[in-house]
Amino acid sequence: MPGSTDVKEAAGYRPLLFSIAYGMTGSVGDAEDIVQDAFLGLSRAQQEGTVIVNPKAYLTTAVTRLGINHLRSARVRRETYVGDWLPEPVVVPADRPGPAEQAELADSLSMAFLVLLEALSPVERAVFMLREVFGYGYSEVARITGKSEANCRQIFARARQRIADGGQAAAGTPPRERRAEGEKLARRFFEAAAGGDMDALLGMLAPDVVLHGDGGGKVPAFGKRLAGRLPVGRLVLGVFRRAGTLGVSLRPAWINGRPGAVKFDAEGRVIGVIELDIADGMVHAIHAVANPDKLSHLTR
């Protein structure tokens, strides 16, 4: 790649670019396509003789604007989606480090946070994410989005208020020193669920715990979100009881930077992903993705 950087150096930006694209779209496949399109655009511009002084800035801008355009075209599909919408899970196996893209993302965007971002317009989402998640200054956000700095400040304030109105502040992954604690609680949670131990399970669920299930209308899933310790506990035990009779197995994993597990059927195919939002030693939210369209990237 001609210009002020070589191919290897430009490739080093992929983790950041993937994280931005994924944060914009909530889709692993779409994020990968957007990043690829941004690199193709950079290569094409340089081949035409355009001098790219800052390839990283060029790529970041391209990915963000492609993400905005993608969101605008995806609005209708989201509005007609069957049941709860959850993002495609980014999975890092618990027993080994994941790809660079996943490692970069692990400390950035949880499923709960991505669901909250759905309340924002495409431009609001871009401004809020660049500023709040990735720490860009207002001048940089303005350059990337093509807005004025003053406008970006207004957009960010409005987006932040809408996120707060959603009932949860933007939250990143718990501090690294608490990761071991999260893994331990997740292991106890799944052991209690598989063993049918209701008392142990209820002791780990927060009183206002919420369960979200995404089957996309393609596989059986929870029709709507379920709230409350006892209703969620009963449903979890029922699901695990049925899974046990079908030979379903679980493998611990980190899902979008949170402890969880990947579900496999008796033939070893991925059929679901479960993410646990853990804080203060309790499970506050469970996100379960079973829509096969959102799991296909895990089998590649």
Contacts of 181 (CB under 8 A, 6+ apart): 278, 281
Distance between CA atoms of 294 and 77, rounded to whole angstroms?
14
Q: Is the pLDDT of residue 267 over 70?
A: yes
CA distance 56 to 77: 31
Contact 112, 256 (CB under 8 A): no
Task: Let me know: does 84 contact 287? Beta carbons within 8 Å.
Answer: no
Query: Rounded to whole angstroms, how far apart are CA atoms 18 and 26?
Result: 11
**What is the layout of strands, in order, in the sheet containing 270-279?**
91-93, 249-255, 258-264, 270-279, 282-289, 205-214, 226-227
**CB-based contacts of 12: which residues, under 8 Å, 6+ apart?**
none
**What's residue 221's pLDDT?**
60
Helices (H), the chain: 7-11, 14-25, 28-47, 55-79, 100-105, 111-117, 122-128, 138-145, 149-165, 179-195, 198-204, 229-245
The pair of three-digit structure tokens given for residue 56, joined into one six-digit string: 């990283």
Domain with CATH 3.10.450.50 in the chain: 176-298
Angle at 233 between CA 201 and CA 246, to 5 degrees: 95
Q: Is the pLDDT of residue 250 over 60?
A: yes
> What is the structure's pLDDT at 182?
84
Average pLDDT over residues 254-278: 92
User: Which pLDDT score is estimated for 103?
Assistant: 46
- What percent of the chain has a predicted confidence (pLDDT) above 70? 85
List, for residues 159-184, the tens digit of each pLDDT value.
Answer: 999 888 765 444 444 445 467 788 89
Q: Are strands 258-264 and 270-279 parallel, antiparallel or unpaired?
A: antiparallel
**Bridge-based pairing state of the strands 205-214 and 282-289:** parallel
Diameter over CA atoms, the chain: 68
Point out the least confidently predicted range of 18-32, 73-87, 200-214, 261-275. 73-87
pLDDT, one tens digit per residue, over 85-96 is 899 999 887 765
**CATH for the stretch 176-298:** 3.10.450.50
| DSSP label at residue 130 | I
Q: Which of 2-11, 70-79, 105-114, 174-183 has the lowest mean pLDDT?
A: 2-11
Q: Report which of 23, 22, 66, 62 is spatially closest to residue 39, judged by C-alpha positions.
A: 62
pLDDT given at position 218:
82
Which tokens sit at 216? Answer: 């996309």
d(CA 253, CA 241): 21
Q: Tokens for 24, please give them.
A: 């914009």
pLDDT tens column, 113-163: 898 898 899 999 999 999 999 999 999 999 999 999 999 999 999 999 988
Delimit the CATH 1.20.140.160 region(s) of the chain.
7-165
In this prediction, residue 85 carries a pLDDT of: 87
Task: Give the pLDDT score at 99.
Answer: 47
Residue with tokens 């895990």: 298
The C-alpha atoms of residue 7 and residue 158 are separated, in whole angstroms, by: 39
- Between 12 and 189, the more confident residue is 189
For the domain bounded by 7-165, which CATH number is listed?
1.20.140.160
